[in-house]
Amino acid sequence: MKKHAAGFDLSLVKMRRARAADKATVLDFCRHTFGRWGDYMPEVWERWIRERSGLFAVAEVRGVPVGVGKITVQRSGELWLEGLRVDPHWRGCGVGRVIQDWTWRKAMAMRPRSIRYATGSYNKISQHLGRSKSMRIVAEFDEFTARPLPARETQLVCASNRDLEPLLQLFERDAAARHWHGLLLEGWVAKAFDRDSLARLVRQKRVYAYTDERGLAGALVYLQSKDKKYFNYCRVAARDRATFRLVLHEGRRLAAVLGAKKMEMHLPHALRPRRLAAGTGWRLAMPIWMVVLEWRRAAR
Ligand SMILES: CC(C)(COP(=O)(O)OP(=O)(O)OC[C@H]1O[C@@H](n2cnc3c(N)ncnc32)[C@H](O)[C@@H]1OP(=O)(O)O)[C@@H](O)C(=O)NCCC(=O)NCCS
């Protein structure tokens, strides 16, 4: 199909809810969204189509899908935008703008407290679309990879409800806390990280702690994929740098104990994280980094 030129009549772009029947067309134009890496759209399609909260939308021209966008309700009042895609043949004609404007109106109608999304540091178009809605970059993260360290045990211990207060203090007082902007990361999805979410994560046994003779000294929150292939650190905190490194390293044993094959994590870009992770077996995954944009309702 030939590329469509700018100057195209945008009134022909119609927005509607995505339907199961859109799958083949949408997955076809998403095949190479992020170059060789491809796209995560095939993995999320079925779930996104079924989801009743939020909104998974399609932009169509004369009945053919040419783009998609999604609003996800993470918690009441906290919206996450994701999955913005335009068929490469239709890029540069204003379709992305139509999807963004429509999605934004729908999101605002949900009366949110906050709206966020993540994109690559290189993705100037995506950042421009966010800024045009008075969103701003609030956090930036480098991505790291590591291999699990074959082991039967680890010095990290699964946290319990009793640890909630000290854990909260540890995460709040960690030297990097302000660079996290009150968030944790599940891959490239940022979520609010506060007392409620920490309590839920502890209940889900996704928080592990390191204790020394002075008490709680380090902790990590993780997410493991259902197929156990991936093990991600969602957030790490420690009393000091040496303990931070110890937790980064020890978490690799934990991943092995839990049967993971690959590991990923993000650390705040502002921290010169390459140095912070030195000697822990973690290495920078790519030269670009992740930026998180946010809009917040003004306090009255
Ligand atoms: C990002 C994407 C959805 C944009 O879709 P598109 O239809 O090509 O975008 P549009 O033609 O509507 O242009 C959107 C805006 O970006 C602006 N823009 C274009 N090139 C730009 C650049 N280099 N820097 C900044 N802004 C730029 C346009 O002027 C337009 O702004 P305006 O509406 O204020 O005039 C599309 O490129 C895509 O699918 N990319 C791959 C997936 C992706 O990156 N998704 C987003 C985040 S994960």
- What are the structural domains of the chain? 13-112 (3.40.630.30), 143-293 (3.40.630.30)
188-240 residue pLDDT tens: 999 999 999 999 999 999 999 999 999 999 999 999 998 888 999 999 999 99
Q: Taking all residues of the chain, what is their mean pLDDT, rounded to a whole number?
A: 95
Task: Report residue 253 as tokens.
Answer: 């044993």
Query: What φ, ψ does residue 191 adopt, rounded to 5°?
Result: -130, 155
- The two structure tokens encoding residue 77: 């009042």
Q: Beta 230-238 vs 262-268: how paired, if at all?
A: parallel
The CB of 125 under 6 Å from ligand 1? The reply is: yes
Whose C-alpha lies nearest to ligand 1, atom 17? 125
C-alpha R_g of the chain: 21
Instruction: Please give the Cα distance from 23 to 41 (Å, whole number).
Output: 10
Rounded CA gap, 188 and 190, in Å?
A: 6
Which tens digit of pLDDT belongs to each residue from 136-160?
A: 999 999 999 999 999 999 999 999 9
Give the bridge partners for 57, in sequence order: 17, 69
**Cβ(85)–Cβ(67) below 8 Å:** yes
Q: What are phi and psi of 4, to 5 degrees?
A: -85, 145
What is the Cβ-side half-sphere exposure of residue 19, based on CA atoms within 13 angstroms? 9
H helical segments located in the chain: 23-29, 41-50, 95-109, 124-131, 164-173, 177-180, 195-203, 241-257, 273-276
Backbone angles phi, psi at 119, to 5 degrees: -150, 175
C-beta 128 within 6 A of ligand 1: yes
Which residue shows structure tokens 């994590």? 265
Mean pLDDT of 96-108: 98
* Cβ count within 10 A of residue 241: 11
- CA torsion sign for 43, 282, 276, 250 is positive
> From ligand 1's centre to the CA of 128, what distance in Å?
7
Give residue 35's pLDDT. 85
Can you count the helices (H) and strands (E) in the chain? 9, 15
Determine which residue's CA is closest to atom 9 belonging to ligand 1.
96
User: pTM, whole model, 2 decimals?
Assistant: 0.95
User: Is a pLDDT exceeding 90 seen at residue 2?
Assistant: no
Is 126 near ligand 1, meaning CB less than 6 Å away?
yes
Per-residue DSSP letter, 68: E
Determine which helix (DSSP H) or strand (DSSP E) holds 56, and give its type and residue range. strand 55-61
**Ligand 1 centroid to 106 CA: how many Å?**
20
The answer, yes or no, to whether residue 1 has pLDDT greater than 70, is no
For 202, 224, 238, the CA distances from 174, given in Å and listed in that order, are 18, 24, 6
Res 87: pLDDT: 98
14: closest CA among 93, 71, 95? 95
Regarding the beta carbon of 197 and ligand 1, being less than 6 Å apart is answered no
Residue 67 to residue 173: CA distance in whole angstroms = 43
**119 within ligand 1 shell (Cβ under 6 A):** yes
Q: Which DSSP category does 244 fall into?
A: H
Whole-number Å distance, alpha carbon 132 to ligand 1 midpoint, is 11
